[in-house]
C-alpha cells in the first residue's frame, strides 16, 4: 500500500514538472482540418530564426508538414510561417480562419495574388488594439475567400513573446463565432465563480476578521486576473487599447498569482509553525517572482517568462509536497487543501494532454485549467467555511460547557449556603486561626530575612575571628608575661617596706642596726634596678592594654548596634575600623593607600555602611590572594572625595585578578559566587547593593580580567534631600 502511494506521488510530481517545465510539445492529432462542408486544410510550417523574412522570401522555402491542427512551440524568439493550403468542394466561398490563443503578439495573413506575389490580407495579435480589429475578439481571426472547387494557399506569419500555443480553426463564420462565444461563456461562468467567491469571502473577512480570509481574497483576485490574462480576456475587456499593459499583464499577473498562492498556503497551512525552513524557502520563491516582475518591466519579456516558468515548477512541487507533509501530521485543513489542489492539477494535466495530442481539442480540454481553477477556488472556500464551522462548534461546545458548569456551580452554591450558615462560626474561628498563623509566618519570614542579612555579616566577621584573636592575644600575652616579674619585684619592695614598718616596734637603740640591715637588703635586691624594672613592666602592661582597647574600639565601631537609626558619622572612621579588623588578613606585600579628601560626615546607618566596607575590602584581599603570580607591589587604594549634588564618592580599588563582563553583570545577584563550594554564601555583594540602595546611593564597578577591580560608591551627605 505504501509503495502504491509513493508511485502515485511520483507520477503526480512528474505530471506537474511536464506541465510547468516543458517548453515545446508537438504531437499528432489529426492530419488535416476539416468541417461539415467538406472543406479541407493542410498545414505546414517554417521556422524563421531571424524573424526578419517576408512572405516573398519564404514562399519558395521548404515547409515541414504539420500533422496536427494544434501545436505548441513553447517560448521562442523565432517567427513561424504557417502555409495554409485550402481546398473547397462546397458552394460556400467565405470562411474564417482563427487561432484560439489570445496571447499571440503578432499574426499576419498573406494570400497569393494573380502575379504570384503574396499580399497582406489581415492582421491580428495583442499589438493591435481591439478597437481596430475587424473581429472584436482577443483571438487572431482572418477572412478567407475560397471559391468552390478551387484551392488557395495562404501564408500566416506568427510571433509571440509568450508561449506559442497554436490551436487552428477553419470554419464558417457562425461556427467560429460559436466557438469564441463558447470560450466567453465558459470564462463568464468562471469569472462569476471568482466574483462570488471574492465577494463572499471578503464579506466573511469583514465580519470575522480572520486573516485566512484576507489572504484567500487576495489569492482569488490574483488567480482571476491571471486566468483572464492567460485566456486573453484582459486584453479584450480590461485594457484593449493599451499595448504597454498588454505586454506587461501576462507575466506580472502570473507572478502575482504565484505570490498570492504562496501567501495563502503559508497562512492557511500554518507553515511557519511546522517548519521555519520551509517558511523561509517559500519567501525565497516569492522573491524570485518579484525578480521576474522587475525583469519583465525592464522589457526582457522572454527571460522573465523563462524565470517564471521554472519558478512555477518549483512552487507547484513545493506546495504539493508541503500540503501532503502537513496532512500527514493530522492537520484537517491540509486534507481540503490537497483535494482542491488535486482538481486544479487535474485541469492542468488535461490541458497538457490536449497539447500532447492524447486528448482531443474541444471546449472542455481547452478550458480545463479554468474548470480546475474554479473547482479549486470553490473547494478552498468550503474549507475555510468548514474552519469557521469548526470554530463555531468549538465555541458552542465551550459555551454549553460553561453553562453546565455555571448551573452546577449555582446548585452547589445553593447547597453550600445551608451548610455555610451552620458553620459560619466555625469557619470564622478557623479563618482567624489561619490569619494568626499567617501573621506569625510573615513575622518569621521577616526575622529570617533579617537573620540572613545578619548571617552574612557574621560570616564576614567569622572570617576575621582568627585574626582578631591573634591581634588581641599578642598584647594579652605581653601583659601576662610581665605579671610574674612584676609580682617578684613588688614582693621585694614589700619586704623592704616590711622592714621599715618593723622599726616602729624596735627600741630606739636598735634602730641603727636595723637600718643597716635594711640598707644591706636594699643593696641585695638592687632597689634601683627593681624600681626601673617596675616602671618598664607597668609601661609594657599599659601598651598591651591600649592595643587591646584599640582593637575593641574598632570592633565596636564596626558592629554598631544603632543600625535602625540614621546617624551623622564620619565615613573615614568606619573605613579605619574595618581596616583594623582586617589587619591580620591583609598579606604583608599589600600596601593600603588611603587618600581621604572628602569632608566625610554623612547621614547613614553606620553598622550597615561598615558592612559594605568590610565586604568590598574582604573581596579585594581575596582577589589579590587569588593571583597566581603575586608581586611585592600589590595594593588596595581607598579614595574619598566630594562631588556635585552634595554627595561623597568612595573608591576602593585593588590590584587583584579582576573580573569578566559576565561576572560584573551577575555580581549583585543573590547567591552568585565565584568561590569554591563552602567558601562563600553568595550574599555579600547582594547585601552591599541593597545597603547602598537603602542609602539612596549607587555603586559601579570598573574591572577587566587581570587588571584589578574598582568599586565606586556614591552616597548623599543628607538622606532628607532625596
Q: How confident is the model at residue 472 (pLDDT cuts 50, 70, 90)?
A: low
Identify the weakest region by mean pLDDT among 99-108, 202-211, 515-524, 546-555: 546-555
pLDDT band for position 602 (cuts 50, 70, 90):
very high
Distance CA 369, CA 373 (A): 6
Flag whether pLDDT at 559 surpasses 60: no
Q: Give the pLDDT of residue 533.
A: 75
pLDDT in tens, 667-690: 888 777 777 655 666 778 888 898
Architecture of domain 31-171: Sandwich (2.60)
Mean pLDDT of 2-20: 40
145-149, 391-395, 437-441 — which is least confidently predicted? 391-395
Mean pLDDT of the chain: 78
pLDDT tens per residue across span 396-418: 777 878 788 878 878 777 777 77
Q: What contacts 528, CB < 8 A, 6 or more positions away?
A: none
Q: Which of 659, 566, 552, 646 is nearest to 616 (CA)?
A: 659
Nearest-CA neighbor of 711 among 608, 619, 601?
Answer: 619
Write out pLDDT tens, residues 413-459. Answer: 777 777 767 777 777 777 777 777 877 777 766 666 566 656 555 55
Average pLDDT (109-119) is 84
Judge whether residue 528 has pLDDT over 80.
no
Average pLDDT value for residue range 509-516: 77
- Residue in 342, 299, 315, 327 with CA at minimum distance from that of residue 255: 315
Looking at domain 183-389, what is its CATH homologous superfamily? Answer: Rhodopsin 7-helix transmembrane proteins (1.20.1070.10)
Residue 183 pLDDT exceeds 70: yes
Q: Is the pLDDT of residue 638 over 70?
A: yes
- Looking at domain 562-721, its CATH architecture is 2-Layer Sandwich (3.30)
Mean pLDDT in residue range 7-33: 40
Higher pLDDT, 339 or 551: 339
pLDDT, one tens digit per residue, over 242-280 is 777 777 777 888 888 888 888 888 888 888 888 888 889
Collect all residues with Cβ–Cβ distance below 8 Å to 114 and sequence separation of at least 6.
none
pLDDT greater than 70 at residue 13: no
pTM beyond 0.85: no
Which phi and psi (to 5°) does residue 536 adopt? -65, -40
Distance CA 391, CA 414 (A): 34
The position carrying cell 555583594 is 685
- Looking at residue 722, its pLDDT comes to 45
The predicted structure's pLDDT at residue 5:
39
Q: Domain map of the chain by residue range?
A: 31-171, 183-389, 457-559, 562-721
The set of cell numbers assigned to 579 is 581596616
Amino acid at each position: 500500500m505504501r509503495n502504491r502511494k509513493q508511485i502515485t506521488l511520483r507520477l503526480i510530481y512528474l505530471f506537474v514538472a511536464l506541465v510547468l517545465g516543458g517548453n515545446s510539445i508537438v504531437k499528432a492529432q489529426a492530419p488535416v482540418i476539416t468541417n461539415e462542408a467538406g472543406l479541407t486544410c493542410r498545414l505546414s510550417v517554417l521556422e524563421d530564426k531571424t524573424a526578419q523574412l517576408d512572405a516573398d522570401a519564404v514562399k519558395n522555402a521548404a515547409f515541414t508538414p504539420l500533422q496536427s491542427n494544434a501545436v505548441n512551440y513553447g517560448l521562442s524568439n523565432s517567427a513561424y510561417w504557417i502555409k495554409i493550403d485550402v481546398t473547397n468542394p462546397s458552394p460556400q466561398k467565405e470562411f474564417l480562419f482563427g487561432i484560439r490563443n489570445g496571447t499571440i503578439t503578432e499574426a499576419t495573413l498573406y494570400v497569393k495574388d494573380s502575379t504570384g506575389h503574396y499580399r497582406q490580407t489581415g492582421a491580428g495579435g495583442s499589438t493591435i488594439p481591439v478597437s481596430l480589429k475587424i473581429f472584436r475578439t482577443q483571438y487572431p481571426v482572418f477572412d478567407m475567400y475560397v471559391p468552390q472547387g478551387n484551392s488557395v494557399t495562404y501564408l500566416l506569419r506568427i510571433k509571440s513573446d509568450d508561449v506559442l500555443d497554436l490551436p487552428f480553426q477553419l470554419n464558417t463564420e457562425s461556427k467560429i463565432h460559436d466557438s469564441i462565444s463558447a470560450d466567453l461563456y465558459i470564462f463568464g461562468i468562471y469569472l462569476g465563480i471568482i466574483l462570488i467567491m471574492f465577494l463572499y469571502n471578503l464579506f466573511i473577512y469583514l465580519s470575522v476578521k480572520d486573516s485566512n480570509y484576507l489572504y484567500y481574497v487576495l489569492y482569488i483576485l490574483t488567480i482571476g486576473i491571471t486566468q483572464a490574462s492567460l485566456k486573453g480576456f484582459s486584453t479584450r475587456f480590461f485594457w484593449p487599447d493599451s499595448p504597454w499593459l498588454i505586454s506587461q499583464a501576462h507575466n506580472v499577473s502570473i507572478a502575482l498569482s504565484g505570490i498570492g498562492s504562496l501567501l495563502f498556503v503559508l497562512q492557511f497551512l500554518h507553515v511557519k509553525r511546522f517548519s521555519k525552513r520551509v517558511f523561509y524557502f517559500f519567501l525565497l520563491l516569492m522573491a524570485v517572482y518579484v525578480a521576474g516582475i522587475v525583469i519583465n518591466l525592464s522589457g526582457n519579456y522572454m527571460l522573465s517568462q523563462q524565470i517564471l516558468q521554472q519558478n512555477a515548477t518549483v512552487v507547484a512541487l513545493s506546495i504539493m509536497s508541503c500540503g501532503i507533509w502537513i496532512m500527514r501530521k493530522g492537520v484537517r485543513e491540509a486534507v481540503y487543501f490537497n483535494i482542491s489542489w488535486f482538481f486544479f492539477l487535474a485541469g492542468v494535466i488535461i490541458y497538457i494532454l490536449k497539447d500532447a495530442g492524447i486528448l482531443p481539442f474541444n471546449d472542455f480540454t481547452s478550458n480545463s485549467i479554468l474548470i480546475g481553477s474554479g473547482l479549486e477556488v470553490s473547494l478552498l472556500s468550503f474549507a475555510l467555511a468548514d474552519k469557521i464551522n469548526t470554530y463555531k462548534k468549538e465555541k458552542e461546545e465551550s459555551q454549553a460547557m460553561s453553562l453546565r458548569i455555571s448551573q452546577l456551580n449555582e446548585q452547589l452554591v445553593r447547597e453550600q449556603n445551608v451548610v455555610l450558615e451552620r458553620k459560619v462560626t466555625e469557619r470564622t474561628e478557623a479563618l482567624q486561626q489561619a490569619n494568626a498563623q499567617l501573621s506569625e509566618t510573615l513575622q518569621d519570614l521577616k526575622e529570617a530575612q533579617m537573620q540572613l542579612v545578619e548571617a552574612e555579616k557574621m560570616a564576614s566577621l567569622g572570617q576575621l575571628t582568627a585574626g582578631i584573636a591573634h591581634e588581641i592575644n599578642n598584647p594579652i600575652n605581653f601583659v601576662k608575661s610581665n605579671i610574674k616579674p612584676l609580682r617578684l619585684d613588688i614582693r621585694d619592695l614589700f619586704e623592704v617596706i616590711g622592714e621599715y614598718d618593723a622599726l616602729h616596734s624596735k627600741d630606739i637603740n636598735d634602730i641603727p642596726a636595723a637600718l643597716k640591715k635594711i640598707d644591706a637588703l636594699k643593696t641585695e635586691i638592687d632597689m634601683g634596678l627593681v624600681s626601673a624594672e617596675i616602671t618598664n613592666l607597668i609601661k609594657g602592661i599599659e601598651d598591651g592594654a591600649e592595643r587591646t582597647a584599640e582593637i575593641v574600639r574598632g570592633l565596636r565601631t564596626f558592629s554598631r548596634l544603632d543600625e535602625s537609626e540614621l546617624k551623622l558619622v564620619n565615613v573615614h572612621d568606619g573605613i579605619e575600623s574595618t581596616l583594623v579588623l582586617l589587619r591580620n588578613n591583609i598579606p604583608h606585600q599589600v600596601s593600603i593607600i588611603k587618600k581621604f579628601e572628602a569632608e566625610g560626615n554623612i547621614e547613614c546607618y553606620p553598622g550597615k555602611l561598615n558592612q559594605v566596607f568590610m565586604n568590598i575590602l574582604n573581596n579585594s584581599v581575596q582577589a589579590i590572594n587569588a593571583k597566581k603570580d603575586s608581586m611585592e607591589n600589590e595594593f588596595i587604594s581607598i579614595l574619598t572625595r566630594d562631588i556635585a549634588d552634595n554627595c561623597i564618592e568612595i573608591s576602593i580599588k585593588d590590584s587583584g585578578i579582576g573580573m569578566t563582563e559576565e561576572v560584573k553583570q551577575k555580581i549583585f545577584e543573590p547567591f552568585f559566587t565565584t568561590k569554591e563550594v563552602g567558601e562563600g554564601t553568595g550574599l555579600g555583594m547582594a547585601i552591599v547593593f541593597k545597603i547602598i540602595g537603602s542609602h539612596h546611593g549607587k555603586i559601579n564597578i570598573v574591572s577587566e580580567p587581570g587588571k584589578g577591580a574598582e568599586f565606586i560608591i556614591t552616597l548623599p551627605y543628607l538622606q532628607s534631600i532625596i
